[in-house]
Chain A
Amino acid sequence: MIREFGPNDIVYLLEAARWTVALALIAAVGGGILGVIVAVLRIVPFKPANWLAIGFINLIQGTPLLGQLFVFFFGLPLFHVVVDPWVAAALSLSIYASAFLGEIWRGSLQSVSPRQWEAGASLGLPYHQRLLHVILPQAIRIAVPPTVGFLVQLVKDTSLTALIGFVELTRESQILSNSTYAPLQVYGVAALIYFVICFALTRLSQRLERTPHAAR
């Protein structure tokens, strides 16, 4: 009944890690696009847009991702909106990521000195040009480390999609651990795979930080 932990199991874990990477990529891209919108809504000089963004950020940051997944996958069908696991996972992970990325980027944009806005204005640049050409290039540099930090977190958060049926790295580990009763080996290998994924991201961040930026 309980079988031995073998080399094949490492292959199964690697196969499951593909889902982890795919889910993290979707969340990063979807969350990135939505996050830009959130960040912009948060800082534009138009109060109702700010309130909308603040409300969204508070709602998403203040509720557990697990609950959001649950609502999307099991909640919507009760109102006859059928969502398949991919849609539910992509939506909830992207929305979750956007609330955090939006705040990170808002902070980065606002950490650029107000003098820079004024300098842009004195050159006669309109608002959107000041934002795009003066503030954004400087803000991006500031944003890289916290963004990558959050993405590393997001890679590990994808494990929550096990609730809606995804057999990603953590869920596969749990399954194999219960088939072999060798949790130390199974979770050890899984931790190593997570480390490789996250370490690669961190290295990428360090490289991006060193890249000389045109704006400077």
Chain B
Amino acid sequence: MLKHLSRIVSAVLLAGAVSVVPAMAADLQQIIASGKIRIGVPVDVAPFGSMDASNQPVGLDVDMANAIAKALGVTAELTPITGANRIPYLMTDKLDIVIAAMGATPQRALQIDFTSPYAALSEGVFGPDNINVSSADQLGDYTIALTKGTTQDLLLTALAPNAKIQRYDDDASSAAAFLSGQAQLLATADIVAQDIMSKNKGAVLHPKFIMSESPCYIGLPQGEPELLHWLNTYVHLGWHDGSLSALSQKWLGTNITSLPPI
């Protein structure tokens, strides 16, 4: 009984910790005055962020973070984040912004602010040729591996609520589940599917169907209108001068057209 009670108490504490009013955070002028911007980037979501051979973060989001710091004229202080702690980091003023292939949802937007999208991923369901599936309602009894909490999770769950979805912690685990035969199909980004194929002889990941172009947004704490506006201006200009498109070309291998702003 006591154990149950304390579990409940801890759950309530946890929920409280996430939903209490955010601490005061640094707005644009403070960031410039301090000479540095604290940016959270992923290191376990290739091609947005991963560790290179010398254990340094690289990827689309890392490039984006450095470019933003450069444009602000401050140094970038990059902090590796995980899917679980990126929003708490922002809400407790441990980071100024998070650039982490983050999709926007109405629920997330209650807690943090999102800028206009700076990139988009083409996401779909991939698998070998002998599996005859071309839309979400044909998934039937096939097991699909994907990474939980990602946009492909949200998309596929909405498209095929009764599908057999296996959710894994990160992309490498989802890929391993597919490669080891635990799942017959893999829901992932186009670029990742191609990379897995080129690395693993015999693995066939041909597109079964494409779910959507899911945009990625920069996240920042609420109540910082100056910073939000500056970031939106930066993203807007990036679409015009082609630098965001070049970034997508470099890391995602695709040119994307401008996405509707927030």
A residues in contact (CB < 8 Å) with B: 1-3, 6, 8, 12, 58-59, 61-64, 67-68, 70-71, 74-75, 77-78, 80, 162-165, 167, 171, 174-181, 183-184
Instruction: Report chain A residues within 8 Å CB of B3.
Output: 58, 61-62
- Indicate whether A58 sits within 8 Å of B82 (C-beta atoms), given known contacts A3-B53, A67-B14: no
Query: Is the Cβ of B199 less than 8 Å from the Cβ of A74?
Result: no
A2–B58 Cα distance when bound, in Å, is 11
Instruction: Report chain A residues within 8 Å CB of B18.
Output: 74
Interface of A is mostly: helix
- Indicate whether A163 sits within 8 Å of B47 (C-beta atoms), given known contacts A77-B23, A78-B92: no
**Shortest Cβ gap from B232 to chain A (Å):** 27
Across chains A and B, the number of contacting residue pairs, with CB separation under 8 Å, is: 123
Listed residue (A3, A164, A167, A175) with the most chain B CB atoms within 10 angstroms of its CB: A175
A68–B7 Cα distance when bound, in Å, is 11
- Interface 9-mer from B28-36, B158-166, B169-177, B215-223: B169-177
28 CB contacts below 8 A, A to B, read: A1-B191, A2-B195, A2-B199, A3-B50, A3-B53, A58-B3, A62-B2, A62-B4, A62-B7, A62-B10, A63-B10, A64-B7, A70-B17, A71-B13, A75-B13, A77-B93, A78-B22, A163-B84, A165-B85, A175-B44, A175-B50, A179-B52, A180-B172, A181-B46, A181-B171, A181-B196, A181-B199, A183-B172
Instruction: Report chain A residues within 8 Å CB of B175.
Output: 181
Asked whether B107 is an interface residue with its Cβ less than 8 Å from the other chain, the reply is no
**Shortest Cβ gap from A149 to chain B (Å):** 21
A131–B43 Cα distance when bound, in Å, is 52
Closest 3 CB pairs of A and B: A62-B6, A63-B10, A178-B44
Query: Is the Cβ of B51 less than 8 Å from the Cβ of A179?
Result: yes
For B50, the closest partner residue in chain A by CB is A179
A70–B38 Cα distance when bound, in Å, is 20
**Shortest Cβ gap from B246 to chain A (Å):** 16
Partner of A176, one of B20, B51, B173: B51
Query: Is the Cβ of B92 less than 8 Å from the Cβ of A74?
Result: yes
Listed residue (A2, A75, A180) with the most chain B CB atoms within 10 angstroms of its CB: A2
**Shortest Cβ gap from B86 to chain A (Å):** 11
Interface bits B37-62 vs A (CB < 8 Å: 1, else 0): 00000011111001111110000000
- Indicate whether A63 sits within 8 Å of B7 (C-beta atoms), given known contacts A78-B17, A174-B44: yes
Query: Is the Cβ of A80 less than 8 Å from the Cβ of B88?
Result: no
Instruction: Report chain A residues within 8 Å CB of B50.
Output: 1-3, 175, 178-179
Instruction: Report chain B residues within 8 Å CB of A181.
Output: 46, 171-172, 175-176, 195-196, 199
**Shortest Cβ gap from B68 to chain A (Å):** 21
Asked whether B109 is an interface residue with its Cβ less than 8 Å from the other chain, the reply is no
Instruction: Report chain B residues within 8 Å CB of A61.
Output: 3
Query: Is the Cβ of B17 less than 8 Å from the Cβ of A165?
Result: no
For B92, the closest partner residue in chain A by CB is A77
Asked whether B209 is an interface residue with its Cβ less than 8 Å from the other chain, the reply is no
Partner of B23, one of A2, A6, A80: A80
Query: Is the Cβ of A174 less than 8 Å from the Cβ of B170?
Result: yes
Q: A2-B46, A62-B10 are in contact. List 5 more A-B contacts (CB 8 A).
A: A3-B53, A77-B23, A179-B50, A183-B172, A183-B176
Query: Is the Cβ of A63 less than 8 Å from the Cβ of B6?
Result: yes
Instruction: Report chain B residues within 8 Å CB of A167.
Output: 80
**Shortest Cβ gap from B93 to chain A (Å):** 7
For A167, the closest partner residue in chain B by CB is B80
A99–B91 Cα distance when bound, in Å, is 30
Instruction: Report chain A residues within 8 Å CB of B199.
Output: 2, 181
Within 8 A of A (CB), among B209-262: 251
A180–B195 Cα distance when bound, in Å, is 11
**Shortest Cβ gap from B201 to chain A (Å):** 14
Query: Is the Cβ of B10 less than 8 Å from the Cβ of A64?
Result: yes
Asked whether B5 is an interface residue with its Cβ less than 8 Å from the other chain, the reply is yes
Instruction: Report chain A residues within 8 Å CB of B176.
Output: 181, 183-184
